[in-house]
């Protein structure tokens, strides 16, 4: 199953407008915050990107994860509608390729969010902080890490969506996972190790993108992606006997 075919399935779902809308909304958060509370942030000693992300990233990351949850549910809802999954299982199609195609589409959506949010941060840095040396490279590194930290949630939500015929069940599971991360204080997340939870990783802030802490989180994100992909591959092998 090609990616182009998967994209055609999403024509009438509002997938792309939702991604662009959430991306633009998220990108406007630091711009509006800086415009309204300029005196609170300008003049501080920290690097501009650190100031902006500490002030805005929690809300932006929450919007990103919520969109991923909704988008993953929509991506698989189209497969369960009118028993399409059972019909595809009778055809010489590899269900794993369908999952990979959907994962690529959802990862691309997350990348679009990252680009739009990077543009929002860049506009704030240029407008209120000038052009500090090395700021653009640091922005690219940090946003690249943020995108990588989002991928475990992308794969996990697609796996949940593929296992639930009812979209509201997968949506409820995703929203519950997000709310758990939101209500637990950050220091408790750090002490308990729950910051490695797929829905908690995107909230992590990295300033030293070359430091061991950032690399450890990156390795954890990669390991989670491999685990979830493996679990999905195992599920797809037995799904035709139960769906």
Per-residue pLDDT of the chain in tens (243 residues, 90 and over written 9)? 578 887 888 887 889 999 999 999 999 999 999 999 998 998 888 889 999 999 999 999 999 999 999 999 988 877 776 666 666 665 656 767 888 989 999 999 999 999 999 999 999 999 998 877 778 888 998 999 999 999 999 999 999 998 888 889 999 999 999 998 988 887 787 777 788 899 999 998 876 556 667 888 899 999 999 999 999 999 888 866 665
CB 50 within 8 A of CB 207: yes
For the whole prediction, is pTM greater than 0.85?
Answer: yes
Q: What is the DSSP string of 114-144?
A: HHHHHHHHHHHHHHHS---TTHHHHHHHHHH
Give counts: helices (H), strands (E), the chain: 10, 0
Give the integer Cα–Cα distance in Å for 131 and 122: 10
- What ranges in 81-211 are assigned the alpha helix state H? 84-89, 95-128, 135-163, 167-183, 186-192
Q: Which residues contact 197 (CB under 8 A, 6 or more apart)?
A: 177, 180, 181, 189
């Amino acid at each position: 199953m090609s990616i182009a075919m998967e994209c055609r399935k999403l024509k009438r779902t509002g997938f792309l407008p939702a991604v662009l809308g959430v991306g633009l909304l998220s990108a406007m958060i630091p711009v509006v915050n800086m415009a309204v509370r300029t005196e609170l942030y300008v003049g501080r000693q920290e690097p501009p990107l650190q100031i902006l992300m500490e002030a805005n990233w929690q809300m932006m990351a929450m919007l990103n994860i919520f969109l991923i949850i909704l988008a993953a549910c929509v991506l698989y809802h189209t497969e369960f509608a009118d028993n399409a999954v059972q019909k595809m299982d009778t055809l010489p199609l590899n269900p794993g390729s369908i999952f990979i195609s959907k994962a690529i589409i959802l990862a691309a959506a997350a990348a679009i969010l990252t680009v739009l949010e990077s543009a929002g941060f860049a506009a704030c840095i240029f407008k209120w902080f000038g052009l500090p040396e090395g700021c653009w490279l640091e922005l690219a590194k940090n946003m690249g890490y943020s995108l990588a930290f989002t991928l475990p949630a992308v794969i996990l939500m697609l796996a949940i969506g593929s296992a639930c015929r009812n979209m509201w069940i997968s949506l409820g599971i995703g929203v519950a996972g997000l709310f758990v991360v939101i209500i637990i204080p950050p220091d408790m997340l750090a002490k308990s190790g729950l910051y490695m939870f797929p829905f908690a990783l995107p909230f992590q802030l990295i300033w030293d993108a070359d430091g061991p802490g950032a690399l450890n989180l990156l390795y954890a994100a990669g390991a989670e992606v491999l685990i979830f992909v493996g679990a999905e591959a195992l599920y797809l092998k037995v799904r035709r006997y139960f769906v």
